[in-house]
Structure 1
Amino acid sequence: MTDDTGPRSGRYERKVKRVNPAYLERAALHYLERFASSSANLRRLLLRRVDASATAHGTDPQEGRDWVEALIQRYIRSGLLNDVLYAEMKASGLQRRGGSTRIIRQKLMAKGLDVDQVDRALSSLEGAEEGESEWNAALAYARRRRLGGFRPDRGLSDDEARVRRDKDIAAMARAGFDLETARRVIDLEDMEGQ
């Protein structure tokens, strides 16, 4: 009879390590080396480890939460964590990929940023001062997804073109763009220079 708890069985469970301040700091730095993060997101990640350790080893979860909070505050004071810069960087990246303002707002809020930080990040987007940030994002989304005038197969019959247009507008709406913006982008014919 074979042992079904080995690493190849699919039921292998990773051993939960006991947390201490040094372990939490190594975990935080390792994460921050690979990913930019908001303070709330890093806190959430470290608290999952604290809770897992408390369950597995019977340690005091409140003590672990205090360690996490002290670590987060130290990183904020040192500038290692800066939620305002993180929000602006994340919003800009999402806009370049074609994220609508609505989707960008939702994603930033999910990262634990407060409303003021999100509003500040949205106002810093390219074209925000002229009111063109949503238009720029819609064009980027259509280009990336090859919708409307960015579609390579434009020689369709009228019925096929109507169905394709409706599908493209629906895709834009699912991505968070309002109907007027979606229609304007999809109905553009000459995509040169856009």
Structure 2
Amino acid sequence: MVARPSRSAPRPLAPAPDAATLRAVALAYLARFSATRAGVEQMLARHIDRWVRRAIATGMEAEDATRAVDPARAAVARIVADMEGLGAVDDVRFSQFRARSLARAGRSRRMVAAHLSAKGVDEAIVGSAVEEALGQRDGEGLETELAAALVFARKRRAGPFVRPDADGEEAHRRYRRALDAMARAGFAHSTARQALDMDREEAEDRIMRMRSA
């Protein structure tokens, strides 16, 4: 009879995370990803919570496990401030870069702002970063918004980007569906109409100009 291989022993519990451990975790994370201040705080909190769950799973009392990480939780804000001092965390720079990236991907100004707010960026920073990256609402920002709407329409294969072999009924159906979808995505009705009614050559040119800016 062949003996079954024994199950490997559970991995021993590592020491409770301290400030030095969290700092190393933050640096490793930021070497791979760009993040906001709130994002790094949340990532470190999750790291601490995972240790608590593992400690409880190995038999430690929940109260003792929670108490063991109190110093680590108290160190999170200081570590994030250190990351800001190093330039590894910069909510303004993050917001401007993300705003441009999202607009080029076909997101409306309203959805860009909502995305940044969901990332925990301060409202004042969101407003100034979006304006800096995408332009003022009544100026350059209108052109950026229109170009983003055109990207959206191209993904939907509607308006100037409808298939050449599409008949009139299909073209109209795609137009109406795209118009509704653009409203849900935060584009003004006038902007959506302008994008969907545009000539294809001009539409492609506007998208190219936005992406090369």
* TM-score band w.r.t. shorter chain: 0.7 to 0.9
Asked if residue 84 in structure 1 is aligned to residue 85 in structure 2, the reply is no
**Secondary structure in structure 1 of the residue aligned to 2:141:** coil
Amino acid at match of 2:24: R
The correspondence for 1:73, drawn from 81, 99, 103, is 81
Measured after TM superposition, the shift of residue 19 of structure 1 is 1.6
**Secondary structure in structure 1 of the residue aligned to 2:133:** coil
Q: Considering only CA atoms, is the larger Rg found in Structure 1 or Structure 2?
A: 2
2-structure distance, mates of 1:169, 1:28: 43
Structure 1 counterpart of 2:151: 140
2-structure distance, mates of 1:63, 1:91: 36
Measured after TM superposition, the shift of residue 144 of structure 1 is 4.2
Asked if residue 102 in structure 1 is aligned to residue 101 in structure 2, the reply is no
Structure 2 counterpart of 1:27: 25
**Does the 8 Å contact 1:127/1:136 carry over to 2?**
no
**Does the 8 Å contact 2:179/2:193 carry over to 1?**
yes
1-structure distance, mates of 2:126, 2:88: 19
Structure 1 counterpart of 2:211: none
Q: Which blocks of at least 5 consecutive residues in structure 1 are unaligned?
A: 7-12
**Secondary structure in structure 2 of the residue aligned to 1:188:** coil
Measured after TM superposition, the shift of residue 149 of structure 1 is 0.6
**Secondary structure in structure 2 of the residue aligned to 1:124:** helix
CA 1:30 to 1:56, structure 2 compared with 1: closer, same or farther past 3 Å?
same
2-structure distance, mates of 1:143, 1:161: 13
2-structure distance, mates of 1:186, 1:59: 56
**Does the 8 Å contact 1:84/1:117 carry over to 2?**
yes
Amino acid at match of 1:28: A
TM-score by length of 2: 0.76
1-structure distance, mates of 2:11, 2:126: 37
Amino acid at match of 1:147: A
Measured after TM superposition, the shift of residue 145 of structure 1 is 4.2
Encode CA deviations 1:108-161: one digit per residue, 9 max, x unaligned.
01111010000011111244343323112212322344332123x134333222
**Does the 8 Å contact 1:38/1:112 carry over to 2?**
yes
1-structure distance, mates of 2:75, 2:21: 10
2-structure distance, mates of 1:94, 1:176: 13
Measured after TM superposition, the shift of residue 173 of structure 1 is 2.4
Structure 1 counterpart of 2:209: none
**Secondary structure in structure 2 of the residue aligned to 1:37:** coil
Q: By percentage of residues, which structure has more helix?
A: 2
Q: Kindly report which structure 2 residues correspond to 1:155-174, keeping only aligned pairs within 5 A, or say none.
A: 155-174=165-184
1-structure distance, mates of 2:199, 2:90: 43
**Secondary structure in structure 2 of the residue aligned to 1:191:** helix
2-structure distance, mates of 1:83, 1:150: 36
**Does the 8 Å contact 2:150/2:195 carry over to 1?**
yes
TM-score by length of 1: 0.82
Structure 2 counterpart of 1:191: 201
Amino acid at match of 2:23: E
Asked if residue 122 in structure 1 is aligned to residue 120 in structure 2, the reply is no
The share of aligned pairs that are identical, in percent, is 32
1-structure distance, mates of 2:88, 2:170: 53
Q: Kindly tell me the number of residue pairs found equivalent between the two proteins.
A: 186
